[in-house]
Amino acid sequence: MLLLVGLGNPGPKYERNRHNLGFLAVDEIVRRHSFSPFKARFQSLVAEGNLGGEKVLAMKPTTFMNESGRAVGEAMRYYKLDPDDVVIIHDELDLAAGKVRAKQGGGHAGHNGLRSIDAHIGKDYHRLRVGVGHPGDKERVHGHVLSDFAKAEMPIFEKLVDAMAECADKLGDKSFDAFMTGVSLILKPPRPKSEKPKAPRPDAVSES
């Protein structure tokens, strides 16, 4: 079983914040792959479904970002899961807007949701880091992640979330390289190769 957790803050006030990118991704995965309706459980909203033939519990913690680990830890203990069975989708300041990278373990880089999860379950879980870009000044980070996506950004993130949902089957068996490759190909499809002009058939050559 896979625990797929999107990070964010509950309530309409935060719905379109950059910090809620994890919620947006999980919402689209649940919708696209016909999961059960969300219901309240484990201090979260949870939905059950399958990705790539594997059972998945999708979670959106309702504890607010800084206490995300409470919800994740409760669900892990109930299902007797290991950190390797957990995938966290979260916004990432150190990636350009619209980029996605997967990693396992590592530091929280100041992300309070990851800090809380580290404290409750350790660091050996998987992360899908979804870039929101850095405002360029450390003093502006808080306001950047807790502000809504700019109007010009929305098409980028809508396409990104759509691509992540399209490739989510690869998450079922933790095929993260295949997932990222699929997302990349959707966002930047290869250019079609230009066809070389066909040589004239010998019998089509005109005589002088």
Q: Has residue 180 been placed in a domain?
A: yes
* Any domain includes 199: no
Contact in structure between 172 and 2 (CB atoms under 8 Å): yes
Domain that holds residue 106: 2-189
Q: Is 111 one of the annotated active-site residues of the chain?
A: no
Q: Is residue 196 part of a domain?
A: no
8-18 pLDDT per residue, tens: 999 888 888 87
Copy the structure tokens of residue 205. Answer: 């050559």
Domain count within the chain: 1
207 within some domain: no
**What's the pLDDT tens digit per position in 128-175?**
999 876 656 666 666 566 667 778 878 888 999 999 999 999 999 999
Backbone φ and ψ for 126, nearest 5 degrees, come out as -90, 145
208 pLDDT higher than 50 = no
Residue 159 CB contacts under 8 Å (≥ 6 apart), including other chains: 98, 186, 187
Active-site hit among 19, 90, 111, 144: 19
How far from 36 is each of 48, 59, 60, CA to CA, in Å? 5, 12, 14
Q: What pTM value is reported for the model?
A: 0.85
